[in-house]
């Protein structure tokens, strides 16, 4: 058996794929089964996607900000069907800094490339600088991040290894940290990709009509250097292409995709991929508020040395995104796959869809294969946390569709000597609401709380309270197309009780709203209470 085969088997065991049934999502599938696909190809918050093709395989990564594990690795055979297979970042550096929620900070706009047998990911942390990590096997362990360039406001890096062996890096600036923005800089880099050889040259200034230019991706084709970069902001922006005969410019530029007459706002920031068949495609995102920045796939052609992304309905060389289109020609038809959403907790490890809001502690969560359930021990709420915005041990996953239903079954075992332990289901963002069992002085209660402007430090408001006398409870949340949702619960298999209060999900800081599980306490102890979750199921309603 080859070393790579051994690594793959160990990976499958580690993430629990070998012990879980692979299922297609019941709430969103892009592949229409008739040779066409619909956008988004992933209706989930994989912001700032970048893709690399290696042989017959496509690998995608995306921004993960403060969520851990970070830098998701998705795999596809046809650019339509994507499976979440790994993460490149198991803890975020500096470790202590990211042990508490750093909303909107961390991993911004990564790029993924393949060079001389190794996969490279570069990402910008706006507070610390540009990092690089790499591996020979994207399904295995990635290296510890190396700080390529220290500095505040350095974001959105992308490398290019030239034909003569020289290496270059293009990046942008975050105005909030650097004090400048809307420019792109190219610098020569060491051939090993671990440090820059110079401060760099400004190759594009977007202040005259292309403000907020960012997210550059670096390519070379037919003797030209191309930088594909969005401008105008994520809500109403457009996609630019820059080209030059030198990596340092001067670059001419052209708008190659915009919203046009479609309802796909701000289509930009992504990856150009060339297929073996000669087709060209572009993967990008659309900002959909509480649903996050969802992933789209658009056809791409070349005309007179410029790309056109989407369909050029006006014949002016600027494309508009498609809603439905013929699937890429990859030579064969592959099975339908989707990123995971439901979890039966039957493996030793959590499903890959789960992320924490900070670097996790190894005391927060354990799966029990024998009992087929997940145990969350109540984590101590930080002293400075005004609400759950400041709580790190929230186990969350992305919204996976425009509408869906979540159901989870829980048994709660609080510490008899403590009060204010709480466990349940939460819909998290800059506003949030939760349904839980809470331990009080006089017993257990089913409670619902809402927090408006959690990011601003607002206090929770109690919406619903009733004594809990049962053993198990099923919590349910139903999310509608306009990100409105309501809670219900069922005690020991009895009647379903619907909470007569409609909530509206709100996005987080640069991420979509998330839904998941939690268990918290307000007092220190040597043996916390815990909540056992039997399953977490997503379905249509």
- State how beta strands 238-244 and 252-257 pair: antiparallel
Choosing from 31, 45, 48, 474, the catalytic residue is 48
Residues 322 and 371 in one domain: no
Total domains, the chain: 2
Q: Is residue 322 part of a domain?
A: yes
Q: Is residue 188 part of a domain?
A: yes
Residues 50 and 135 in one domain: yes
Q: Known catalytic residue: 48?
A: yes
Choosing from 45, 78, 125, 214, the catalytic residue is 214
Residues 433 and 511 in one domain: yes
Q: Known catalytic residue: 460?
A: no
**Can you read off the two tokens belonging to residue 364?**
């927060």
Residues 318/311, Cβ–Cβ less than 8 Å: no
Q: How far apart are CA 208 and CA 231, in angstroms?
A: 11
Q: Is residue 484 part of a domain?
A: yes
Residues 450 and 500 in one domain: yes
Residues 106 and 168 in one domain: yes
Q: Is residue 293 part of a domain?
A: yes
Q: How far apart are CA 305 and CA 483, in angstroms?
A: 42
Residues 394/357, Cβ–Cβ less than 8 Å: yes
Residues 156/216, Cβ–Cβ less than 8 Å: yes
Residues 38 and 139 in one domain: yes
Residues 401 and 292 in one domain: no
Q: Is residue 240 part of a domain?
A: yes
Q: Domain with 533 in it: what CATH number? A: 2.60.120.200
Q: Domain with 199 in it: what CATH number? A: 2.115.10.20
Residues 180 and 312 in one domain: yes
Residues 308 and 445 in one domain: no
Distances in Å between the Cα of 87 and the Cα atoms of 74, 275, 280, 366, 382 are 9, 25, 27, 19, 27
- Quick check: pTM over 0.75? yes
Q: Is residue 389 part of a domain?
A: yes
Residues 369 and 270 in one domain: no
**pLDDT (tens digit, 0 to 9) for every residue of the chain, 541 residues total?**
333 333 333 333 333 333 344 579 999 999 999 999 999 999 999 999 999 999 999 999 999 999 999 999 999 999 999 999 999 999 999 999 999 999 999 999 999 999 999 999 999 999 999 999 999 999 999 999 999 999 999 999 999 999 999 999 999 999 999 999 999 999 999 999 999 999 999 999 999 999 999 999 999 999 999 999 999 999 999 999 999 999 999 999 999 999 999 999 999 999 999 999 999 999 999 999 999 999 999 999 999 999 999 999 999 999 999 999 999 999 999 999 999 999 999 998 999 999 999 999 999 999 988 889 999 999 999 999 999 999 999 999 999 999 999 999 999 999 999 999 999 999 999 999 999 999 999 999 999 999 999 999 999 999 999 999 999 999 999 999 899 999 999 999 999 999 999 999 999 999 999 999 999 999 999 999 999 999 999 999 8
Indicate the helix (H) or strand (E) that contains 176. Answer: helix 175-178
**What's the confidence (pLDDT) of residue 22?**
53
Residues 403 and 313 in one domain: no
Range of the domain at 471: 365-539
Distances in Å between the Cα of 431 and the Cα atoms of 305, 359, 486, 501 are 47, 22, 14, 15
**What's the confidence (pLDDT) of residue 371?**
85
Residues 319 and 443 in one domain: no
**What's the confidence (pLDDT) of residue 1?**
33
């Amino acid at each position: 058996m080859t070393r790579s085969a051994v690594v793959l088997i160990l990976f499958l065991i580690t993430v629990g794929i070998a012990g879980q049934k692979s299922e297609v999502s019941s709430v969103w599938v892009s592949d229409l089964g008739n040779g066409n696909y619909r956008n988004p190809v992933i209706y989930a918050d994989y912001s700032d996607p970048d893709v690399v093709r290696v042989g017959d395989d496509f690998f995608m990564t995306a921004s993960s900000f403060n969520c851990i594990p970070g830098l998701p690795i998705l795999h596809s055979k046809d650019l339509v069907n994507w499976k979440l297979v790994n993460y490149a970042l198991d803890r975020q550096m500096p470790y202590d800094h990211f042990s508490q929620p750093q909303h909107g900070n961390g991993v911004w706009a990564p790029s993924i490339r393949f060079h001389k047998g190794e996969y490279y990911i570069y990402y910008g942390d706006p507070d610390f600088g540009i990092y690089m990590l790499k591996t020979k096997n994207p399904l295995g362990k990635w290296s510890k991040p190396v700080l390529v360039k220290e500095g505040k406001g350095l974001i959105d890096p992308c490398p290019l290894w030239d034909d003569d062996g020289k290496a270059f890096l293009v990046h942008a600036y975050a105005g909030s940290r650097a004090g400048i923005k809307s420019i792109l800089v190219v610098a020569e880099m060491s051939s090993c990709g671990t440090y820059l050889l110079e401060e760099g040259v400004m190759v594009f200034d977007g202040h005259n009509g292309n403000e907020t230019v960012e997210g550059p991706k670096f390519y070379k084709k037919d003797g030209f250097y191309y930088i594909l970069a969005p401008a105008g902001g994520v809500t109403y922006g457009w996609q630019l292409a820059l080209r030059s005969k030198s990596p340092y410019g001067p670059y001419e530029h052209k708008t190659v995709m915009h919203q046009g007459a479609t309802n796909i706002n701000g289509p930009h920031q992504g990856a150009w991929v060339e297929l073996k068949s000669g087709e060209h495609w572009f993967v990008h995102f659309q900002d959909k508020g509480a649903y996050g920045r969802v992933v789209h796939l658009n056809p791409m052609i070349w005309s007179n040395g410029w790309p056109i992304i989407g369909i050029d309905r006006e014949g002016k060389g600027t494309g508009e995104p498609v809603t439905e289109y013929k699937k890429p020609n990859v030579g064969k038809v592959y099975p339908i796959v989707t990123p995971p959403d439901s979890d039966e907790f039957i493996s030793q490890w959590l499903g890959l869809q789960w992320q924490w809001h900070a670097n996790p502690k190894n005391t927060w969560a354990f799966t029990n294969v024998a009992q087929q359930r997940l145990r969350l021990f109540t984590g101590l709420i930080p002293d400075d946390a005004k609400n759950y915005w400041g709580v790190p041990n929230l186990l969350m996953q992305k919204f996976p569709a425009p509408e869906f239903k979540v159901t989870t079954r829980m048994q709660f075992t609080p510490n008899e000597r403590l009060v204010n332990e709480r466990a349940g289901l939460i819909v998290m963002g800059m506003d949030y609401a939760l349904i839980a069992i809470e331990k009080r002085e006089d017993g257990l209660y089913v409670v619902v709380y809402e927090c408006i402007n959690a990011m601003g430090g607002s206090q929770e408001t109690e919406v619903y309270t009733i004594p809990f006398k049962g053993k198990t409870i099923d919590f349910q949340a139903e999310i509608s197309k306009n990100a409105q949702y309501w809670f219900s619960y069922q005690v020991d298999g009895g009647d379903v009780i619907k909470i007569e209060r409609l909530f509206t999900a709100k996005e987080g800081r640069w991420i979509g709203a998330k839904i998941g599980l939690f268990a918290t306490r307000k007092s220190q102890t040597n043996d916390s209470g815990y909540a056992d979750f039997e399953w977490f199921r997503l379905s249509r309603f």
